[in-house]
Structure 1
Amino acid sequence: MSENFAQLFEESLQQLETRPGAIVRGEIVSIEKDIVLVDAGLKSESAIPADQFKNAEGELEVAVGDFVDVALDAVEDGFGETILSREKAKRHEAWVELEKAYEDKATIKGLINGKVKGGFTVEINTVRAFLPGSLVDVRPVRETTHLEGKELEFKVIKLDAKRNNVVVSRRAVIEAESSAERDELLANLEEGHEVKGIVKNLTDYGAFVDLGGVDGLLHITDMAWKRVKHPSEIVNVGDEINVKVLKFDKEKSRVSLGMKQMGNDPWQEIAARFPEGHRLSGAVTNLTDYGCFVEIEDGVEGLVHVSEMDWTNKNIHPSKVVNLGDVVEVMVLEIDEERRRISLGLKQCIANPWEEFAKSYNKNDRVSGKIKSITDFGIFIGLDGGIDGLVHLSDISWNKTGEEAVREFKKGDEISAVVLQVDPERERISLGVKQIEEDPFNSYLAEFSKGAIVTGTVTEVDAKGVTVNLAEEVDGYIRVADLSRDRIEDASEVVNVGDSIEAKFTGVDRKNRTVSLSVKAKDQAEEKEALDKVNQTEEVASTNAMAEAFKAAKGE
Structure 2
Amino acid sequence: MTNEVINETEESEQNETSVAKETNTENSVEIAEETPHLQETQPSAAEEKQNSNEMDFGAILEEFEQDQISYHPGDLVEGKVVGISERGVLVDFGFKSEGVIPVEEFTTPEGEVAVQKGDNIEAVIRNIYSGDAPPILSRNDAINRKSWDEIEKAYNGNQPIKGFVTGKTKGGLKVDIDGVEAFLPGSQVDSRPIRNLDSYLNTEIEAKVIKFSRKRNNIVLSRKALTDEAINAKKTETLNQIGQGYVIEGTVRNLTEYGAFVDIGGIDGLLHVTDMSWGRLQNPGD
CA drift of 1:184 comes to 3.1
| 1:217 and 2:258 are equivalent in the alignment | no
Q: Residues of 2 paired with 1:255 and 1:61: CA distance?
A: 55
CA drift of 1:38 comes to 1.5
Partner residue in 1 for 2:127: 74
> Partner amino acid for 1:134?
S
Partner residue in 2 for 1:130: 183
Alpha-carbon distance change, 34 to 192 in structure 1, aligned in 2, over 3 angstroms? farther
Alpha-carbon distance change, 166 to 55 in structure 1, aligned in 2, over 3 angstroms? farther
Instruction: Give the number of the structure whose residues are more often helix, by fraction.
Output: 2
**1:177-214 residue CA offsets vs partner (Å, 9 max, x unmatched):** 34333433555576563x7xxxxxxxxxxxxx7xxxxx
Correspondence for 1:180 among 226, 233, 240: 233
CA drift of 1:121 comes to 1.8
CA drift of 1:147 comes to 0.7
Partner residue in 1 for 2:219: 166
CA drift of 1:39 comes to 1.3
TM-score when scaled to structure 2?
Answer: 0.59
CA drift of 1:249 comes to 7.5
Partner residue in 2 for 1:142: 195
**1:245-283 residue CA offsets vs partner (Å, 9 max, x unmatched):** 995689x931479xxxxxxxxxxxxxxxxxxxxxxxxxx
Alpha-carbon distance change, 187 to 60 in structure 1, aligned in 2, over 3 angstroms? farther
Partner residue in 2 for 1:550: none
Determine helix, strand or coil for the equivalent of 1:97.
helix
Determine helix, strand or coil for the equivalent of 2:228.
helix
CA drift of 1:62 comes to 4.0
Q: Residues of 2 paired with 1:79 and 1:142: CA distance?
A: 60
Q: Residues of 2 paired with 1:183 and 1:47: CA distance?
A: 58
Alpha-carbon distance change, 120 to 92 in structure 1, aligned in 2, over 3 angstroms? same
> Partner amino acid for 1:132?
P
**Which structure has the larger Rg over C-alpha atoms?**
1
Correspondence for 1:89 among 137, 142, 149: 142
Correspondence for 1:254 among 268, 278, 284: 268
CA drift of 1:60 comes to 5.4
CA drift of 1:85 comes to 0.4
Kindly indicate whether structure 1 or structure 2 has the higher relative contact order, using CA contacts under 8 Å at least 6 residues apart: 2
Would you say the 8 A contact 1:217–1:256 is kept in 2? no
CA drift of 1:78 comes to 7.6
Task: Give structure 1 stretches of 5+ with no counterpart.
Answer: 1-6, 196-208, 210-215, 222-244, 258-337, 340-556
Would you say the 8 A contact 1:192–1:246 is kept in 2? no
Correspondence for 2:206 among 153, 159, 166: 153
The aligned runs of 1:199-278 (5 Å cut-off) are 216-217=252-253, 219=255, 253-255=267-269
Q: Residues of 2 paired with 1:220 and 1:54: CA distance?
A: 55
Would you say the 8 A contact 1:27–1:66 is kept in 2? yes
**1:325-355 residue CA offsets vs partner (Å, 9 max, x unmatched):** xxxxxxxxxxxxx99xxxxxxxxxxxxxxxx
Instruction: Give the number of the structure whose residues are more often strand, by fraction.
Output: 1
Q: Residues of 1 paired with 2:155 and 2:129: CA distance?
A: 36
Q: Residues of 1 paired with 2:83 and 2:192: CA distance?
A: 52
> Partner amino acid for 1:153?
E
CA drift of 1:96 comes to 0.8
**1:11-51 residue CA offsets vs partner (Å, 9 max, x unmatched):** 79933xx1111111111223457843211122322332333
Q: Residues of 2 paired with 1:143 and 1:80: CA distance?
A: 54
Q: Residues of 2 paired with 1:130 and 1:248: CA distance?
A: 30
Partner residue in 1 for 2:49: none
State the aligned residue count.
207
TM-score when scaled to structure 1?
Answer: 0.32
CA drift of 1:91 comes to 0.8
**1:79-138 residue CA offsets vs partner (Å, 9 max, x unmatched):** 611100001111111111111111111111112222222322211111111212211111
Would you say the 8 A contact 2:255–2:261 is kept in 1? no
> Partner amino acid for 1:253?
I
| 1:40 and 2:93 are equivalent in the alignment | yes
Q: Residues of 2 paired with 1:90 and 1:65: CA distance?
A: 19
Q: Residues of 2 paired with 1:247 and 1:114: CA distance?
A: 32
Alpha-carbon distance change, 248 to 140 in structure 1, aligned in 2, over 3 angstroms? closer
Determine helix, strand or coil for the equivalent of 2:187.
helix
Would you say the 8 A contact 2:253–2:261 is kept in 1? no
The aligned runs of 1:371-450 (5 Å cut-off) are none
> Partner amino acid for 1:170?
R
> Partner amino acid for 1:14?
I
Correspondence for 1:21 among 74, 78, 83: 74
RMSD of aligned C-alpha atoms?
Answer: 3.8
**1:517-542 residue CA offsets vs partner (Å, 9 max, x unmatched):** xxxxxxxxxxxxxxxxxxxxxxxxxx
CA drift of 1:219 comes to 4.5
How much identity, in percent, do the aligned residues show? 37
Alpha-carbon distance change, 155 to 248 in structure 1, aligned in 2, over 3 angstroms? closer
Task: Give structure 2 stretches of 5+ with no counterpart.
Answer: 1-61, 272-279, 282-286
> Partner amino acid for 2:188?
L
Would you say the 8 A contact 1:42–1:75 is kept in 2? no
Would you say the 8 A contact 2:171–2:185 is kept in 1? yes
Would you say the 8 A contact 1:157–1:167 is kept in 2? yes
> Partner amino acid for 1:140?
P
